[in-house]
């Protein structure tokens, strides 16, 4: 896989995650100085998944996010199209399924909520995926997305961009057999939408009540939205 040819081709993205799956959880913690755990804990609070609910954790990777979101007793399903990532998380006691975000193998309105943590920026078509997710979530159901974003304070934004390139190059060179994968990850982080434009894409995909919460100066943002409830039948 060459970096230049990756360009979010789904097969190459899946193959790239297969390639980094063995060390993914550890690399993620090293790269974020352990902040990833805090970001998932906050996402879990925003998601507020309860016992009796069915929650889809899309782009779940090794299931590290799914295990966190299932803590309060909700039934959380880890879905991902990288078999390598799912396999690396098989020690986690969460149900797992191989699935592509753009063609979900679920019936309409089968989940109370859907969530994506550090996955959406890899989707080849963000809006189409958000429409597909809306199909499988019940009316009134929730969407919660945790993703890297744009620091709001310019000096932090400047330092953050430098840091991303530096740490990813370092990780790629010394901790991975696949340095191009880390270059792709860094570039995908820097090229991703800021808070407001992601909110707009979510709204354009048919979700309502879109809002976001900045974490760690906006390095990460959590977006939340709701699927519109069905209008009562109109009788003239």
Ligand X SMILES: C[S@@+](CC[C@H](N)C(=O)[O-])C[C@H]1O[C@@H](n2cnc3c(N)ncnc32)[C@H](O)[C@@H]1O
Binding-site residue numbers for S-adenosyl-L-methionine are 62, 80, 100-101
The verdict on 65 binding ligand X (CB under 6 A) reads yes
Spell out the residues 6+ positions from residue 152 whose beta carbon is closer than 8 angstroms to its own.
214, 217, 218
Least distance from ligand X to the Cβ atom of residue 137, Å: 16
3-class secondary structure, 179: helix
Token reading at 12: 């190459």
The verdict on 106 binding ligand X (CB under 6 A) reads no
In SS3 terms, 207-227 reads as CEEEEEEEEHHHCEEEEEEEC
Residues that constitute the known binding site: 62, 80, 100-101
Least distance from ligand X to the Cβ atom of residue 231, Å: 31
Binder among 10, 19, 95, 179 for ligand X (CB under 6 A): 10
The verdict on 81 binding ligand X (CB under 6 A) reads yes
Q: Which is nearer to ligand X, 169 or 188 (CB)?
A: 188
- CA 31 to CA 21: how far, in whole Å? 15
Least distance from ligand X to the Cβ atom of residue 122, Å: 4
Local structure of residue 22 (DSSP, 8 states): G
- CA 16 to CA 1: how far, in whole Å? 8
The verdict on 149 binding ligand X (CB under 6 A) reads no
- CA 149 to CA 215: how far, in whole Å? 9
The verdict on 17 binding ligand X (CB under 6 A) reads yes
Local structure of residue 81 (DSSP, 8 states): S
Instruction: Candidates 97-105, 167-175, 190-198, 213-221: pick the segment binding ligand X (CB under 6 A).
Output: 97-105
The verdict on 172 binding ligand X (CB under 6 A) reads no
Binder among 32, 88, 117, 195 for ligand X (CB under 6 A): 117
Binder among 32, 44, 88, 122 for ligand X (CB under 6 A): 122
CA dihedral 65, 157, 143, 10 (to 10 degrees): -70
Size of the site for ligand X (CB under 6 A): 22
Local structure of residue 176 (DSSP, 8 states): -
Q: Where are the alpha helices (DSSP H) in 90-222?
A: 126-136, 154-175, 179-191, 195-204
- Side-chain half-sphere of 167: how many Cα atoms within 13 Å? 16
Binding mask 25-64 for ligand X (x = CB under 6 A): ---x------------------------------xxx--x
The verdict on 89 binding ligand X (CB under 6 A) reads no
Query: Could you list the residues that contact ligand X (CB under 6 A)?
Result: 10, 13-14, 17, 28, 59-61, 64-65, 80-82, 85, 100-102, 117-119, 122-123
């Amino acid at each position: 896989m060459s970096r230049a040819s990756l360009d979010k081709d789904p097969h190459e993205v899946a193959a790239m995650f297969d390639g980094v799956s063995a060390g993914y959880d550890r690399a993620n913690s090293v790269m974020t100085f352990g902040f990833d755990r805090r970001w998932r804990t906050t996402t879990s609070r925003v998601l507020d998944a309860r016992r009796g609910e069915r929650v889809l954790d899309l782009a779940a990777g090794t299931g590290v996010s799914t295990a966190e979101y299932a803590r309060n007793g909700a039934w959380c399903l880890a879905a991902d199209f990288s078999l390598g990532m799912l396999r690396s998380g098989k020690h986690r006691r969460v149900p797992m399924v191989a699935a592509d975000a753009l063609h979900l193998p679920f019936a309409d309105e089968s989940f109370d909520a859907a969530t994506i943590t550090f996955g959406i920026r890899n989707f080849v078509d963000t809006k189409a995926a958000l429409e597909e997710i809306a199909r499988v979530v019940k009316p009134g159901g929730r969407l919660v997305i945790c993703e890297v974003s744009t620091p709001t304070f310019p000096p932090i934004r400047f330092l953050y961009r430098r840091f991303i390139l530096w740490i990813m190059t370092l990780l790629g060179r010394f901790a991975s057999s696949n340095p191009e994968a880390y270059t792709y990850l860094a570039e995908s982080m820097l090229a991703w939408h800021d808070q407001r434009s992601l909110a707009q894409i979510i709204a354009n995909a048919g979700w309502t009540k879109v809002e976001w919460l900045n974490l760690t100066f906006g390095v990460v943002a959590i977006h939340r939205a709701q699927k519109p409830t069905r209008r009562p039948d109109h009788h003239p």
